[in-house]
């Protein structure tokens, strides 16, 4: 019995949804451990498209249990809308197959508004937030004034908690000349949806302990990517939570000794949404074509993603930071038509060559990538399910990536379809 953590090794959008869905055929339980409804996952199953934001990818599979851990920030209205939306597509969501941590913090309307206010007034310093209120909610969590799922159980407790959080937010809003939130109105809205939210609420740490004891296979699903980690990413152009696989423990309450295999989802090229440094970005026709063929638009926001060559320096760095055991390489087929393909193997900064991403934001913007070039394969790989059927130049590119980043490639995805995957190593059976 193994428990597997799936994380993105780049800036997110690596195709985690498909891989988690594919792996969940073996898992019994699928758990989200950080982030919020800013993390979009697109699944294509029998040509039916599912766009998930908060719900774990395992929800589309019958007989699996899906969980939102305490590390997730939950917009209760967005969650209920998503449940309603997916039920229309024939997916059952019940307290038997879906649970949320009673300790999870709630995103409230003023969180989203504060997100928008800050971003609109940031000028050239825009971070590129999804404006979903994620950051302001995490701030309240750390500031010990957040409303948590469990607070919905008691009207008197909810009133006290709202008083604390609104004292903070209304003071800021007053200074910004924005409308003041009234405690009673917000309390009424929360109590109105409380029964629907609370029926899914449980002490997740206890549930997971019981699953481990009964030898269930657990799949932990990360959101965003390691380069958006608030400590180890391209700060300040990052998300507001830790995205490293170690967060699977703190974000759920399951001890780290119960986590067995870390799978890093890695796109065969590089993309980024929003602002921030991007050393290998291609602001040319090649970048445009990668975006078009790869359908590089955000699931949540529909924002266009910036595209560039594979940055081996960055992926090698995230592998070392996170302890990734194996790589799931995605979107290989997007490179099919290229004459040549490049991998960034080093940077140049102020006339010196370096082999890691510096911590300074200023330095990150000023580094110049140094590339190694490989011949393209100029033939279709879409839908290939066996390594032997890949063109020789595609295999050479894959082996070059594997050798440079220092981690085994355990699977290769050749289309958005669930079964178009070449399995080289099963994370649950290693």
Side-chain half-sphere CA neighbours of 142 within 13 A: 9
C-alpha to C-alpha distance for 127 and 108, rounded to whole angstroms: 21
Side-chain half-sphere CA neighbours of 92 within 13 A: 9
Q: Is 37 a catalytic residue?
A: no
Q: Which of 37, 41, 111, 169 is catalytic?
A: 41
User: Helix or strand or coil: residue 373?
Assistant: strand
The DSSP call for residue 182 is P
**Partners of 408 in the beta sheet?**
326
User: Helix or strand or coil: residue 190?
Assistant: helix
For residues 418 and 21, the answer to whether their CB atoms sit within 8 Å is yes
Which runs of E-coded beta strand occur in 173-250?
Answer: 201-202, 218-221
CA 389 to chain centre: 31
Phi and psi angles of residue 131, each rounded to the nearest 5 degrees, phi first: 65, 35
**Partners of 218 in the beta sheet?**
29
| Beta-strand pair 29-32/65-68 | parallel
User: Helix or strand or coil: residue 6?
Assistant: strand
For residues 37 and 53, the answer to whether their CB atoms sit within 8 Å is yes
Our CA angle for 44, 45, 51, nearest 5°, is 45
Joined together, the tokens standing for residue 98 give 């879906």
The DSSP call for residue 385 is -
C-alpha to C-alpha distance for 127 and 211, rounded to whole angstroms: 39
Tell me the H-state helices in 203-311.
204-213, 247-250, 285-293
* Non-local CB neighbours of 311 within 8 Å, separated by 6+ positions: 10, 270, 279, 280, 344, 369
For residues 346 and 326, the answer to whether their CB atoms sit within 8 Å is no
In the chain, what is the greatest distance between 2 CA atoms, to the nearest angstrom? 67
Which runs of E-coded beta strand occur in 88-155?
Answer: 98-101, 105-106
Side-chain half-sphere CA neighbours of 291 within 13 A: 20
Q: Is 355 a catalytic residue?
A: no
| Cα radius of gyration (the chain) | 22
Residues with catalytic roles:
13, 41
């Amino acid at each position: 019995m193994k428990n597997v953590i799936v994380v993105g090794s780049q800036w997110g959008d690596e195709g985690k949804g498909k891989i988690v869905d594919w792996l969940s055929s073996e898992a019994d339980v699928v758990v989200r451990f950080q982030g919020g409804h800013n993390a979009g996952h697109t699944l294509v199953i029998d040509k039916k498209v599912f766009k998930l934001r908060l719900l774990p990818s395992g929800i589309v599979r019958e007989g699996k249990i899906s969980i939102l851990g305490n590390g997730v920030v939950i917009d209760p209205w967005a969650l209920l809308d998503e449940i309603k939306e997916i039920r229309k597509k024939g997916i059952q969501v019940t307290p038997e197959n879906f649970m949320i941590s009673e300790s999870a913090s709630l995103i409230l309307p003023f969180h989203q508004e504060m997100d928008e206010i800050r971003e609109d007034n940031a000028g050239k310093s825009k971070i590129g937030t999804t404006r979903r209120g994620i950051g302001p909610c995490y701030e309240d969590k750390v500031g010990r004034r957040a409303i948590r799922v469990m607070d919905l159980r008691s009207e008197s407790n909810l009133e006290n908690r709202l008083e604390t959080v609104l004292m903070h937010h209304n003071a800021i809003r007053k200074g910004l000349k924005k409308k003041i939130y009234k405690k009673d109105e917000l309390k009424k809205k929360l109590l109105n949806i409380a029964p629907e939210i609370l029926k899914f609420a449980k002490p997740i740490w206890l549930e997971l302990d019981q699953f481990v004891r009964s030898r269930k296979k657990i799949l932990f699903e990360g959101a965003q990517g390691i380069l958006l980690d608030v400590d180890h990413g391209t700060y300040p152009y990052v998300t507001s939570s830790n995205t490293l696989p170690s967060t699977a423990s703190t974000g759920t309450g399951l001890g780290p000794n119960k986590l067995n295999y870390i799978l890093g989802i890695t796109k065969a090229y590089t993309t980024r949404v929003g602002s921030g440094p991007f050393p290998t970005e291609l602001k040319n026709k090649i970048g445009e074509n990668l975006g078009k063929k790869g359908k590089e638009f955000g699931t949540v926001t529909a924002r266009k993603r910036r595209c560039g060559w594979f940055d081996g320096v960055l992926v090698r760095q995230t592998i070392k930071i996170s302890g990734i055991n194996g790589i799931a390489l995605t979107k290989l087929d997007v490179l099919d038509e290229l004459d040549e393909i490049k991998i960034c193997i080093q940077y140049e900064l102020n006339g010196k060559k370096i082999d890691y991403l510096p911590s300074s934001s200023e330095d990150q913007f000023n580094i110049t990538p140094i590339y190694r070039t490989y011949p393209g394969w100029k033939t279709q790989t879409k839908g290939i399910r066996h390594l032997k059927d890949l063109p020789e130049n595609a295999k050479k590119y894959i082996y070059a990536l594997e050798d440079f980043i220092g981690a085994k490639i355990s699977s290769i995805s050749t289309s958005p379809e669930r079964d178009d995957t070449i399995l080289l190593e099963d994370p649950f059976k290693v």
